[in-house]
Structure 1
């Protein structure tokens, strides 16, 4: 097992509900009202913080987009921002 790995468990209640153990909530960075995502891969299930997962998926989808549009340096990005600000009259 990994050095930072641990095992915890929870009981499934009559309606299929479980309480996520505090140590696991702490690792996920979730608290009351937050959402978690279940990722099922075969017979293995991962539970992740939904907000973090959504950001990771967005980052994966956007990977390489800047280069595909010709934004290859910070100067290119700054020039685009300046152009956009001038177009909307707030420059």
Structure 2
């Protein structure tokens, strides 16, 4: 187990030391989860699922038309908003 220390700012921000960022492959914008047990806090990066990982699982005999998918999604979202009486803010 390694011990690397850091310091919290007045805004509650903690800098992750560069050596840890490099070792763990962390980048700007990465998200973390905080696990609290007793008086200890464990910080873990949230694993992101990349679209490129999912694409390999999609199989179809037809060409995928992204514009049509967007159009259908927009229509369905509009129907939902109207049916729920929601308004655009």
When normalised by structure 2's length, the TM-score is 0.48
When normalised by structure 1's length, the TM-score is 0.47
* Structure showing the higher helix proportion among its residues: 1
